[in-house]
Structure 1
Amino acid sequence: AAVIVEPVAGSTGVLAPPKGYLERLRDICTRHGILLIFDEVITGFGRLGSAFGAMRFSVTPDMITFAKGVTNGAVPLGGVLVSDEIHAQIVSTRTGLPDHGIELFHGYTYSGHPLAMAAGEATLDLYAQEDLFARAAALENPWADAIHTLSEFGIVRDIRTIGLAAGIDLEPVASPGARGFQAVQSAFHTHDMMIRITGDTIALSPPLIISETEIALLVERLRRLLQQLE
């Protein structure tokens, strides 16, 4: 048995876990022999100001799935990290196998693609050389302060920020998602922005190299967008 969760639910609108939730989930899984898997496709590689969300919340899962940030999205690549215990279980199946035996018969057509591997190595080098995880952590408060100024608009129902991510819930109109669709259309065609929506929520995840000046520019364009939608 296993439980899989995002440390911060990104696809549903940047929903951070309640205080103590992940710790409690870890305790329950450990007590009942259930594997805890963190889906860190969004939260991994600096988005929350640390290498992984597991580190941000000081909760150790049994497995972590990752993608996207490992190559900065330049080339498709994903992977899985496992605990020492799981690794030992896999390796123990080598008993009686020749040296060239395969421990885990599992793979995809594009596994280990040279281009993806090169992109991943280059991206990880840049994260380290430019200390981008620490940079994201340092920008968390300026980012939150700037984004929360948008709460002045009546069309805004709620704003949530964590790390370099934000969710802005908009007041819905006639049908669910219609307001969000208006927002993404107007952002692209009128305000020179690319934003992501989930339903009537604007979900933001800027690059880790964003500056405070660029944050101010982004928020100013969001302000114009919200004025137009109101």
Structure 2
Amino acid sequence: MKLENDPLAAFWMPFTANRAFKAAPRLLSSAKDMHYTSSDGRQVLDGTAGLWCVNAGHCRAPIVEAIRKTAGEMDFGPTFQLAHPLAFELATRLAALMPEPLDRIFFTNSGSESVDTALKIALAYQRARGEGTRTRLIGRERGYHGVGFGGISVGGIVNNRRQFGTLLTGVDHLPHTHDLAANAFTKGRPQHGAHLADDLERIVALHGAETIAAVIVEPMAGSTGVLIPPLGYLERLREICTRHGIVLIFDEVITAFGRLGGATAAEVLGVTPDIITMAKGLTNAAVPMGAVAVSRVIHDAVVEGGPDGIELFHGYTYSGHPLAAAAGIASLDLYRDEGLFERAADLSGYWQDAVHSLKGKPHVIDLRNLGIVAGIELEPRAGAAGKRAMELFHKCFDTGLLIRVTGDIVALSPPLILEKAHIDEMIGRIGDLLATVD
């Protein structure tokens, strides 16, 4: 096949306006600590930890060395009926970070795979305990659970569902918790909205508890615009799920590994689910990897209660990949040795004050924060939703700051090694540029 002259043509980019990007590409050439370097040699402050994932900063030497060393010793080791020590070591380390009793770990390769795995485990558990009629899965509006058909089915992003449909039947959705009228410019968790969890009782009454296997929610929804859980909301979900025998799954692909000031959002917010999904910060994004933490009760029902042989017919070629496991262990070491979870908690007050200093800036209709996360919601242009935030995204990048936008919402989630000066630079830059956006 003849090669094209255009070096950008072959790569069909994910979640990207490909025609617009390739007409005016913005390329990254390297990264270190808090900054990317653009292809034209400019330093770009990373306000998004890549994609919510580089929590310890870029190209950290201990992680790089762990990957390099492992690649020279064992490039791949299967975990189907065999295993290698690094996978067990990482699982043990990870289990110790999870809230009790979530001490059984299943490895995947991404957040999407972690979600599909969690849904399968929930279904297997209900079947193992003699509740095979429990096949219905409950998600939430404006929820993002990856791009597998399971995640799309329980997710609540209209464009994903509209374009591809869903393969899972028996899915329902809770209402989202975002209430701009009641909670605009709240610092931290909003007071209003705990009652929205009670809609699960309506769904139970509609379908019958005996048909519902699991509820899956993000403790804090990130990709759909930084939607902060109202006080009491997650506690109410937990109580309803427990009472009706429903598995509660927290999708912590974004919130795990320090983003909210602790190992998990479950720890920080004081609500323990039955299953937690993870990815992103698990390896500091250096090697793709995901994981699912499962309660001992669920694990034992499936593994100890099943017949001889394979208990769960599920897995991936790269589950527990040696390079990923090495990166995960090195990442957990960095988080511990540098106190990055505690650092995030300590900086959260300064971060909150800085973010809310944008109140009154042009186009800003809401500001939201939790841990080291912020959502800056802009008023949409008439008939051109999302255009104003995308223009701000381009202006920020061109002047040395990487942000993320979803519709007209700017999301910030920088690496946890940031200093106060970085916070000042991010918020100051955004504040200045908002005045230049029509």
Q: TM-score range by the shorter chain?
A: over 0.9
SS in 1 for 2:365: strand
| Unaligned runs of at least 5 residues, structure 1 | none
| Residue in structure 1 matched with residue 223 of structure 2 by the alignment | 11
When normalised by structure 2's length, the TM-score is 0.50
Match of 2:423 among 215, 218, 227: 215
| Residue in structure 2 matched with residue 149 of structure 1 by the alignment | 357
| Residue in structure 1 matched with residue 267 of structure 2 by the alignment | 55
Distance in structure 1 (CA, Å) of the matches to 2:350 and 2:230: 23
Distance in structure 2 (CA, Å) of the matches to 1:104 and 1:35: 17
Q: How does 1:42-121 map to 2 (within 5 A)?
A: 42-93=254-305, 95=307, 97=308, 101-121=309-329
Find the structure with the greater CA-based Rg.
Answer: 2
1:204 CA displacement: 0.4
SS in 2 for 1:206: coil
Distance in structure 2 (CA, Å) of the matches to 1:176 and 1:223: 20
Residue type of the alignment partner of 1:168: I
| Unaligned runs of at least 5 residues, structure 2 | 1-212
| Residue in structure 2 matched with residue 171 of structure 1 by the alignment | 379
Distance in structure 1 (CA, Å) of the matches to 2:241 and 2:272: 11
Report if the CA contact (8 A) 2:362-2:435 is conserved.
Answer: no
SS in 2 for 1:152: coil
SS in 2 for 1:65: strand
1:94 CA displacement: 5.4
1:213 CA displacement: 1.1
Count of residues paired in the alignment: 225
| Runs of 4+ off more than 4 Å | none
For 1:46-103, what per-residue CA distance to the aligned partner results, in whole angstroms no more than 9, with x for missing partners?
Answer: 00001100011111100000000101111110010001101111221455x3xxx433
Distance in structure 1 (CA, Å) of the matches to 2:283 and 2:436: 36
Q: Percentage identity across aligned positions?
A: 59
Distance in structure 2 (CA, Å) of the matches to 1:92 and 1:156: 54
Distance in structure 2 (CA, Å) of the matches to 1:137 and 1:170: 27
Residue type of the alignment partner of 1:25: L
Residue type of the alignment partner of 2:303: V
Give me the CA root mean square deviation. 1.2
When normalised by structure 1's length, the TM-score is 0.94
Q: Does 1:140 align with 2:348?
A: yes
